[in-house]
Amino acid sequence: MEFSYIIEGGDFSKAGSASSEVKKILKQLNLAPEKIKKIAVAMYEAEVNIVAHAYKGVMEGKIDAEKVFLRFRDEGPGIEDVDKAMQEGFSTASEEVRQMGFGAGMGLPNIRKNSDSLKVSSEVGKGTTVEITSYINN
């Protein structure tokens, strides 16, 4: 199955609503609870990243018998140094984002920890794409 959700940049009142919908789908598909939690945490971190840093974005997902694939595409400032952004503790988040309990430079490392594959590509001034793959029977 395939799905897609719009994510508004800067709107913290809705941050997590797309991930919440997808989590419900994963539950309906009867995935193992530990697997659902890992995917939920990874996609929520990615969704919060869009809300925190981009103007707008979209989460596109595809689920088949083998894996859950999620792609987060945003229009935003992009990431200057992706390797640096992957390092724990590095963050460019605003004070507002920190007040929400995020922006400690833990997002991308935590996505990597909770997924089987993470791919980040970015163009400064245009936007960022984050692709997360989780194998269901892994």
Report the interface residues with other proteins, using CB under 8 A: 12-13, 15-16, 19-20, 23, 33, 37, 40-41, 44-45, 48, 99-104, 106-107, 110, 113
Which residue type occupies 128? T
- Rounded Cα distance between 1 and 110, Å, is 26
Report the residue number, 71 or 112, with the smaller CB distance to other proteins.
Answer: 112
Minimum Å distance from CB 83 to other proteins? 19
Minimum Å distance from CB 58 to other proteins? 19
Reference 59, options 70, 75, 51, 49; nearest CA is 70
Report the residue number, 99 or 123, with the smaller CB distance to other proteins.
Answer: 99
- Rounded Cα distance between 8 and 54, Å, is 8
